[in-house]
Amino acid sequence: MTVLLTITDDQHAELYTARGGHNRGTIFYIHGGGFIYGDKNDLPAAYIDQFTAADYNVLSIDYPLAPEVSLPTIIQSVQTAYDWFCANCLRLTGTSRIILFGRSAGAYLAYQLLMAQDLPIQPKAFINFYGFFDIFSPKLVQPDAYYQQFASVTLPAPQEKPQYTGSLTERFPVYLTVRQKGQWQGYIDATPAMQRPVQFGALPPMYICHALHDPDVPFGIAIQEKARHPRATLVSINADQHDFDRMPTVANHEVYDEVIGWLEGILGDK
């Protein structure tokens, strides 16, 4: 069953409920898109079906996008959604067990959420697909050689109202342009002072999945995450795409099966 939920007047979420008899918890999913594009429906339905068939609920949230809002506002919006779900999770799902799942920029937002003070419920685990923990990593700040092979676009003026959905067709070229010019952080109003430093020892067990030849977020960042986190599992994928799982292939279904198996071991479920 799928339920559309209202967090605030502008912010919404989709809840996909577990299909079996053993309610193992809720996957709190945060989408990627460089904080500029994407929406809460970007996780392919086939992967959601894998989670719900394995008795996990999936809650996918939206959040306002840059440049209409700044990165600090985006981070606060994710925390608002998390706090709201914590207050309503038992009523909505019958369980207070939460697992964070972020892909790409969504993983960064999960890191920032985990570093917030006094979370109502501490997540039991963190699934990190091709994410990053520091938006000021040298590889992310400097002009990107990979994106420089593509044509840039004129950056559009921000719209008057916050946008919670950004189409790949319209907004990905904007992301491409600011990355190729080394202007990403400035475009989304990110400053070192607004970033919560990640204390890796305070994180829950983490599953990191990252393509070896990722052209957008270098695999070296995943290596840093694994080295700093005492309870991290790193799985490398022999691919040259950033979001290697964009299409639900047989191989990618197996990747998600491995995530589910890891979760069962972490949570003590059979």
Q: 71-85 pLDDT, tens per residue?
A: 999 999 999 999 999
CA–CA separation, 15 and 28 (whole Å): 9
Q: What does the angle CA 170 – CA 133 – CA 186 come to, to the nearest 5 degrees?
A: 50
Q: What is the pLDDT of residues 83-94, one digit of tens each?
A: 999 999 999 999
Mean pLDDT lowest among 18-22, 37-41, 62-66, 243-247: 18-22
* H or E element, residue 51: helix 45-53
Contacts of 83 (CB under 8 A, 6+ apart): 120
CB 234 within 8 A of CB 92: no
CA–CA separation, 202 and 192 (whole Å): 21
Domain that holds residue 150: 2-267
Residue 270 pLDDT = 52
Backbone angles phi, psi at 56, to 5 degrees: -110, 140
State the average pLDDT over residues 232-240: 98
CA–CA separation, 71 and 64 (whole Å): 9
Share of the chain above pLDDT 90, in %: 96
Amino acid found at 168: L
The structure's pTM equals: 0.97
Q: What is the CATH number of the domain that holds 44?
A: 3.40.50.1820
Q: What is the pLDDT of residues 168-188, one digit of tens each?
A: 999 999 999 999 999 999 999
- The mean pLDDT of the chain is 96
CA–CA separation, 133 and 135 (whole Å): 7
Number of domains present in the structure of the chain = 1
Q: What is the pLDDT of residues 120-174, one digit of tens each?
A: 999 999 999 999 999 999 999 999 999 999 999 999 999 999 999 999 999 999 9
State the average pLDDT over residues 259-265: 97
CA–CA separation, 14 and 3 (whole Å): 6
Residue 264 pLDDT = 95
